[in-house]
Amino acid sequence: MSVVIRRAVLGLFFVCSCLLPLAAAPARAATAPQEVVTGWYKLILELVRHTSNYSPPVAARSFAYIGVTSYEAVASGSDNLQSLAGQLNRLKTLPAREKGATYDDAVILNTVMEFAVTHFFDRTGPTGQHVMKKMAKLMDEEVTQSVAPDVVARSHAYGQILSQAVFDWSKTDGGATVENMGFPLDYKVSGKPGHWVPTSLIRQQQAPLLPEWGKVLPLAMPKGSTCRLPSPPAFSEKPDSAFYKEANEVYTAVNGLSDEQRTIARFWSDDPMLSPTPPGHWINIALLVLEQQKADLPTTVDTLARLGVALSDAFIGCWDSKFEYDLIRPVTYIKKMIDPKWETLLITPPFPEYPSGHSTQSGAAAAAMTHIFGDKLGFDDSTHQADGIKPRHFANFHAAAEEAAVSRLYGGIHFRSAIERGLTQGECIANYVNALKTKK
């Protein structure tokens, strides 16, 4: 391996130039199994950003299945970890390792990560394909260099059948195929008062994103509607109505934003194809915390599996409610009722308003992370540092989730009810994830 190439591989392991801060990276052996996982995750976050059909729900789904894959790769050889087979919906069994045979965790993990990444990101562009192939080749050289050939072969074979089994299971949830970046070619806008209408001048976005996503089968939550929210405030155009008051709150807030509020809105904007998306933001928080905590392998895979499942189920539950209520966006209402020249700070996402997706998934993520690390773990979130956005410190995961949620009000894209109830919905969904048993 040339010096240049080796440096490039190690860059994805250690330099953390994708999303993690350089200074925080400790020097470790290149083949430590958890670093195989986190190294691939850093590439995944780039692929999420650069794969055109990776809207937030789609990204969250991939995080779930990739997380489960890496978890099972480790759990299958651990005396302390319990398989998620039999706990996650529709996942009855998974292939086991051969008893008494020797395996190498790093080789298995590299095999499953390569399989999962190349299968879940099979639609990425030529640059992503180029990097995936190069990463796989160089990582394989890295993890196998001091392992006996028969162990490499056995570990590789097991990794293949395990990841194939998880991938086959993933295809049964109804969310595997996403076309036209998630925008249906035919969609009839309801036209009823108070219902969603397109807010974008982009032709593709005259239909909402993924209107059927609420029907995708969740992994831990029983079904998409399990944590369905109550109705939003009744739609009304009367100035003394609760609905008008919520809209006026958004209008007033955006017009009077402080620098700090503007910073918060942009910090959590997490636009698809321009960032790792909201679920990717939380995955990066997890990577930062794992790095900060010098987490061992079981904690690493447990965290990424639980968080992935929580995020994925959160988007399914959120989308179930979004299309149940099909609520109008603030920009539509405010332009009609309050100020026709009003503009949002953030780009209004092309789908119904209630509840706020970022709030639901942040609520779920914070609950899942708190379950693992407790509610007193502070961290610096440097997710967008490479985009020139300064890190922010949070006292705990719930503080981050609450800020993420209210950022949507500052951005002018959500009403308060969607924000507060979104957080509540996320906690409801996370309860099912936190009920999963990962330790024997």
Neighbours of 2 (CB within 10 A): 7
CA 12 to CA 40: how far, in whole Å?
A: 8
For position 125 contacting another protein by CB under 8 A, the verdict is yes
Instruction: Report which DSSP code applies to 394.
Output: E
CA 351 to CA 326: how far, in whole Å?
A: 8
Please state the φ and ψ torsions of residue 325, each to the nearest 5 degrees. Answer: -100, -25
Distance of closest approach, residue 321 Cβ to another protein, in angstroms: 27
Nearest to 8, CA basis, from 134, 193, 156, 165: 134
For position 50 contacting another protein by CB under 8 A, the verdict is yes
Binding marks (x or -) toward another protein, 52..81, rule CB under 8 A?
Answer: xx----------------------------
Q: Which part of the chain contacts another protein (CB under 8 A), choosing from 142-150, 177-185, 325-333, 405-413?
A: 177-185
Structure tokens at 420: 């507060």
Binding marks (x or -) toward another protein, 255..284, rule CB under 8 A?
Answer: ------------------xx----------
Q: Where are the alpha helices (DSSP H) in 256-296?
A: 259-267, 277-292
Neighbours of 345 (CB within 10 A): 17
Q: Which part of the chain contacts another protein (CB under 8 A), choosing from 76-84, 132-140, 187-195, 392-400?
A: 132-140
Of 151 and 389, nearer to another protein (C-beta) is: 389
Of 10 and 242, nearer to another protein (C-beta) is: 10
Distance of closest approach, residue 155 Cβ to another protein, in angstroms: 24
Of 126 and 149, nearer to another protein (C-beta) is: 126
Q: Is 82 exposed, middle or buried (0-12, 13-18, 19+ CB in 10 A)?
A: middle
Beta strands in 31-109 (DSSP E): none
Neighbours of 115 (CB within 10 A): 21
Residue that the structure tokens 């190349």 belong to: 118
Contacts of 281 (CB under 8 A, 6+ apart): 268, 270, 275, 383, 404
Please state the φ and ψ torsions of residue 394, each to the nearest 5 degrees. Answer: -130, 140
Structure tokens at 394: 């949070």
Total residues contacting another protein by CB under 8 A comes to 39
User: Dihedral through CA 174, CA 179, CA 184, CA 185, nearest 10?
Assistant: -140
Q: Which of 102, 145, 172, 180 binds another protein (CB under 8 A)?
A: 180
For position 134 contacting another protein by CB under 8 A, the verdict is yes
For position 204 contacting another protein by CB under 8 A, the verdict is yes
CA 100 to CA 86: how far, in whole Å?
A: 24
Q: Which part of the chain contacts another protein (CB under 8 A), choosing from 119-127, 226-234, 286-294, 334-342?
A: 119-127
Of 157 and 176, nearer to another protein (C-beta) is: 176
Distance of closest approach, residue 18 Cβ to another protein, in angstroms: 7
Of 265 and 364, nearer to another protein (C-beta) is: 265
DSSP-assigned beta bridge partners for residue 81: 439
DSSP-assigned beta bridge partners for residue 272: 275
Distance of closest approach, residue 384 Cβ to another protein, in angstroms: 8
Q: Which of 82, 87, 89, 129 binds another protein (CB under 8 A)?
A: 129
3-state secondary structure of 275: strand
For position 171 contacting another protein by CB under 8 A, the verdict is no
Q: Which of 102, 189, 387, 393 binds another protein (CB under 8 A)?
A: 387
For position 22 contacting another protein by CB under 8 A, the verdict is no
Q: Which amino acid belongs to residue 265?
A: A
Of 266 and 329, nearer to another protein (C-beta) is: 266
Q: Which of 131, 217, 337, 338 binds another protein (CB under 8 A)?
A: 131
Q: Which of 160, 389, 391, 399 binds another protein (CB under 8 A)?
A: 389
Binding site for another protein (CB under 8 A): 4-5, 8-9, 11-12, 17-18, 46, 49-53, 122-123, 125-127, 129-131, 134-135, 138, 179-181, 185, 201-204, 273-274, 386-389
